[in-house]
Amino acid sequence: MALKRMDNIGIVVEDLGATIDFFRELGLKLEGRATIEGEWAGRVTGLGDQRVEIAMMRTPDGHSRLELSCFLTPPVVADHRNAPVNALGYLRVMFAVDDIDETLERLRTRGSQLVGEVVQYKDAYRLCYIRGPEGLLIGLAQELG
């Protein structure tokens, strides 16, 4: 059996509402929210008795999703939100945008901060990293020409 697709990327957050608002501002659509709990869920994650509120966000093309999770129980045990871009593990999510400057202006109203600067790679892309809600590292790419 061959791999079919990547279904979603999971991100654990403390403030689910603010994070949903940020990704809506970026252009993702909220597909739904739910509370996940019960013995079956704990067997999947290995956390035992868990209760987590999730929100599924979809990109405009419908092909990619973010699953935002806010753990109510058990409590979060690690925090790597302020790790530098060369830290081991999952680094960031990169989004393609039409206009990087306009996108940055909109996301600043939701508290995002530019990590370095907007740079141009050859005649192909303008790129930058931002810190979104709760310090999440997010890449933006604007294809040129």
Q: What is the mean pLDDT of residues 99-126?
A: 95
Task: For the chain, give every residue range classified as CATH 3.10.180.10.
Answer: 9-73, 93-143
Per residue in 60-90, pLDDT (tens digit) is 999 999 999 999 999 888 888 778 778 877 7
Q: How confident is the model at residue 99 (pLDDT cuts 50, 70, 90)?
A: very high
Beta strands at 51-58 and 65-73: parallel, antiparallel or unpaired: antiparallel
Percent of the chain with pLDDT over 90: 70
CATH superfamily of the domain spanning 93-143: 2,3-Dihydroxybiphenyl 1,2-Dioxygenase, domain 1 (3.10.180.10)
Largest CA distance in the chain: 53
Per residue in 28-71, pLDDT (tens digit) is 999 999 999 988 888 888 888 899 999 999 999 999 999 999 99
Enter the CATH code of domain 9-73.
3.10.180.10
- CB 91, CB 83: distance < 8 Å: no
